[in-house]
Each structure stands twice: as C-alpha cells, then as structure tokens.
Amino acid sequence: MGRNGGAMDDMGVDAEYRGVRRTPRARRVLVATALVCAAVAAVPQAAWADPAPPQRSLEDVRKEVESLYRKAEAATDEYNAADEQAKLQEKNVSGLARKVADAEKRRQEIEDRIGELARSQYRSGGLAPSARLFLAPSPDDFLAALDSTRRGQDATRRLLAETESVKEELGRYAKAADERWKRLKEERKKKEAAKKEIESRLDAAKKLESRLEDKERERLRKLEEEKARQAQQQWLASDAVKGLSLKNSTGSATDIGRRAVEFATAQMGKDYVWGAVGPDTYDCSGLTSRAWATAGHPIPRTSQEQWRQLPKVEVKDMRPGDLIIYFSDASHVAMYIGDGTMVHAPRPGRQVTLAGAGSMPILGVVRPG
C-alpha cells in the first residue's frame, strides 16, 4: 500500500506519492522501457583492445644488438680459454700414456731378467750360489765363483730396486693421468656451456635483426658507424692520447711488429667466426694471436690472457703491432697499426676491417714484443 493507502503500481512505485496518476497505457510504456533498459544492461560491453606496444627506436635495437653480441663475444673468450686448456690436458694425457707404456715395458723387461736368473739357477741344479762357491774344485775356481756370486747378487739387488722404482713410477703416472682426465672433462664441460651461451646470444641477435626491413638494416649499420665515429672523436680529444703521434707512425714499429701488422691487415675482408684462428675466418683474438705467431712470436690465444700475461704500455706510447684491449672484461682485442687506427675482427656478420682505435671503450694496451 502507498503512503495514503493507495495500491502500488506495476513498477513498485506509489503513483500517488509521485503526484502523477498514470493511465494503463502509460504504465505499459513504462514497463516496456524498463525491460529494454534491462536487456541492454545485460549485454556484455565490448572489450577494449590493448594498445599496441610502442614502436622501438632503431637506437634501442642497436643497443640491444650490441649487448647481445658483446655477451656472445665474452662467451667466445671463455670458449677459447676452455679449448686451449682442453688441448693442453689432451697433450698431457697423451704424454702420460706414453710414459706409462714405457714404464710398463721396462717392468716387463725386468721381470724377464729376473725370470732368466731363476732359470739359470734351476739349470745349475738348484744350488744356492754360496753352496756352489764352497764346492769349487780349486782356489782359482773359488775366487772366480766368488766374483761371479757377488756380481749376481749385485745384479739381483739392482733388478729388485729397479722393479720397485718402476712400480712407484707407474703409480705416479696413473694418479697424474687420472687428474688430467678429470681436468679434461671439466674443460670440455666449460666449452660446451660457453658454446650454448654463444649460440643463444647470436640467435637472439640475428632474430632481432631479421625483423628489420632492408632499409632499416642499412640505417642500423650507419648508426653503428656513426656511434663509432663519435667515440673516436671523443677519444682523440681526450687526455688519454696526449703525446701519441697521430702522424704516420709505422716507422716506430719493430721489425716483428711490422710483420704482425702486415699479416693482420692482409686478412681484411675475411669473415668473423667465433672460435676461428684462420686462415679463412677469425674471431678477434684469433686474428691477433695468429698475426703474432706468424711474425715469429707466439702469444696467448684469448684476449683476456693477452691482457693478463703481456707487458702493459700507456696509450700515449702505443706503436704499431701493440694490442688494444677493450671493455672492462677484456673481451675484445684489436691491433694498433698507427695513425690512431686499429685492425680487428669486429663481430659475427662483419669482416676483418680497420676502425678508429678509440671507437670502443679501451681497457688498456699490451705489447707482445
């Protein structure tokens, strides 16, 4: 009932309270309108599509590609180091195997000689040397037998001592060989892990570059070149190069340094391949180590070992043939050729080329010889 005792209308609203007396037709219109509104409210609203992700700038792509290749190059250095150690351990194991074989051969020879002594004693009737000595028919025979007995005893002692020595030697070799095999397995595991890391990073970089159109790839290359040019200009204007002659300085190189430079520059145009040391493809340290080895002065294989083992010189004192080590982890290396320029194997997808010596962050400079 309504406030004044009137009946509620069809919509549950007291018409008298509203101050409006509705006709039956008006009430039907109201009901129909309410049903339509309810039906519209029951229909789910169309879902709004998520906004498209923002377009990545070519500079962002360049930075990510560079980061991926840098990580791949660091893993390449780890692979090269593990490969060098594996080769060393294989050589050690092979050398130990030869020593074991030689010692085993000596042991067999000693056993044969001991067997011969035993057979000789058997042929003499099985008498001990001392017994035969006292049965000598004459003093001369006695003295001869005495000398022979002493020589036999000395020979026997030497054979026994040699037998023990060979047994100890075999034991040492066996232990050393076991250790070498363990190290070899560890280095092979390191190589495999580094290989997976390299391939993973390279695949990611290639996929990223493959999404670019041909024009964008060309723009990306030019952007890389521009960044390198800017870095070179900043380096040339820095205090680090004060005192460095930027004129033709090949005359300051040693003979062996010039030979190394000549070899490295002769490789220009050859593809970068990780783990390669020539003659048709190179990675960065493969190029520098091969150049110096060809010049007659072998150096460590990896850029990190080149940085760790070779004598360091100041940037301002660089001369052609010196090696420039880049990045804080010493993961890249190039050869200085004079005039503020270096030759290097940059990264996968690139070839051995010339570039500004300051186009990347320099960790330091080393001099092979």
Catalytic positions are: 284, 332, 344
10 closest CA partner among 287, 26, 271: 26
d(CA 324, CA 318): 9
Q: In the structure encoding, which two tokens stand for residue 318, read together?
A: 């660089």
| Three-point CA angle 362, 348, 277, nearest 5° | 80
d(CA 289, CA 168): 41
**Cβ–Cβ < 8 Å for 163, 110:** yes
b or e along 122-154 (b: 16 or more beta carbons within 10 Å of the residue's beta carbon)?
eeeeeeebeeebeeeeeeeeeeebeeeeeeeee
Q: DSSP assignment, residue 248?
A: -
Three-state DSSP string of 324-360: EEECCCCCEEEEEEECCEEEECCCCCCECEEEECCCC
Q: At what angle do helices 255-266 and 284-294 cross, to 10 degrees?
A: 130
E strand spans, the chain? 312-313, 323-326, 332-338, 341-344, 353-356, 362-366
SS3 call for 366: strand
Is-cis flag, bond preceding 298, omega within 30? no
Residue with tokens 């010692």: 103
Reported as half-sphere exposure (CB side, CA atoms, 13 A), residue 332 has a value of: 25
Q: In the structure encoding, which two tokens stand for residue 191, read together?
A: 């190589």
Residue 88 backbone phi and psi in degrees, to 5: -65, -45
Q: Which residues pair with 198 in a beta bridge?
A: none
Residue 336 backbone phi and psi in degrees, to 5: -75, 135
Q: Which residues pair with 332 in a beta bridge?
A: 326
